């Protein structure tokens, strides 16, 4: 399979491993083009006959630092644009959970918002100890509708997950490991070795036993996504129209504290 039409994601092979690298500037922020590519890359990865395992990572400093502010402002000014991406948002979650091939997240740097969701919906998450992860949707006036409300409680329990989703706090990778949010937090210069170690162990097992073990384990997550995603995205769509949403994005761009009104 050829992947030449991707612009925000770089796909390459190492033997039977397919590497998907998020590549969109210094912080790998998500814009409209990347959102569209994320909605089909895991389907393409599943269909790729040349690979048996997928590694998801980021190029440069960050893994994926959430939504691009210019894109956010555009969707605030034109709510039809936000409404139009909802099928993509749903497909990102479902395609991640439907993919049978094992998926390792090489968490090289900051992962926020949807970036955190795609990291945490991977099968094994290996982070550099210099990385951080969090879902600050609420800090920019949005419901964590694109997967955060699904995956965080499953990994660390409802009380801790709701605290982090409602505060929007970022966690250092070492704290994320302690909580069980990620599998490993290793020194940055040991990240590749740890990823290769786990990938080698997985690839050393029979292909179909691995794929279908993952598929069976993901059944409850797929059921949960089917129950929650439509409502969560609907809530997110509504919050995109609020005054506080507009103000939080403007404050972020202007590097000031938001003046919230509760509207």
When the pLDDT of each residue in the chain is averaged and rounded to a whole number, the result is: 97
The pLDDT tens digits for 151-184 are 999 999 999 999 999 999 999 999 999 999 999 9
CB-neighbour burial class of residue 247 (10 A; exposed 0-12, middle 13-18, buried 19+): middle
The pLDDT tens digits for 242-253 are 999 999 999 999
Could you give the domains of the chain? Answer: 9-191+202-254 (3.90.226.10)
Q: Residue 262: its pLDDT value, please?
A: 97
pTM of the full predicted structure? Answer: 0.97
Q: Is residue 21 predicted with pLDDT exceeding 80?
A: yes
Residue length, the chain?
Answer: 263
The pLDDT tens digits for 55-113 are 999 999 999 999 999 999 999 999 999 999 999 999 999 999 999 999 999 999 999 99
Range list of β-strands (E), the chain: 9-14, 17-22, 53-58, 103-107, 111-112, 124-128, 132-134, 170-172, 184-186
Q: What is the C-alpha to C-alpha distance for residues 117 and 112, in angstroms, rounded to an integer? A: 8
Q: Is residue 1 predicted with pLDDT exceeding 90?
A: no
Q: Is residue 34 predicted with pLDDT exceeding 90?
A: yes
């Amino acid at each position: 399979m050829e992947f030449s039409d991707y612009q925000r994601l770089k796909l390459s092979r190492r033997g039977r491993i397919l590497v998907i690298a998020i590549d969109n500037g210094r912080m790998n922020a998500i814009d409209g083009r990347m959102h569209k590519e994320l909605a089909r890359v895991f389907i393409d990865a599943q269909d790729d006959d040349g690979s048996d395992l997928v590694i998801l990572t980021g190029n440069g400093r960050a893994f994926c630092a959430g939504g691009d502010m210019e894109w956010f402002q555009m969707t605030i000014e034109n709510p039809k644009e936000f409404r139009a991406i909802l099928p993509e948002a749903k497909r990102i979650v479902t395609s991640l959970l439907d993919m049978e091939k094992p998926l390792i997240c090489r968490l090289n740097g900051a992962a926020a918002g949807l970036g955190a969701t795609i990291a945490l919906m991977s099968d094994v998450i290996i982070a550099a100890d210099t990385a951080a992860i969090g879902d600050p949707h609420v800090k920019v006036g949005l419901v964590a509708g694109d997967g955060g409300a699904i995956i965080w409680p499953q990994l660390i329990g409802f009380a801790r997950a709701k605290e982090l989703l409602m505060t929007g706090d970022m966690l250092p990778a070492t704290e994320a490991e302690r909580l069980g949010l990620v599998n490993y937090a290793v020194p940055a210069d040991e990240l590749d070795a740890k990823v290769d170690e786990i990938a080698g162990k997985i690839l050393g097992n029979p292909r179909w036993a691995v794929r279908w073990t993952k598929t069976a384990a993901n059944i409850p997550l797929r059921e949960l996504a089917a129950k929650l995603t439509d409502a969560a995205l609907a809530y997110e769509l509504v919050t995109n129209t609020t005054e506080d949403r507009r103000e939080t994005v403007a404050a972020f761009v202007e590097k000031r504290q938001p003046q919230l009104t509760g509207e």
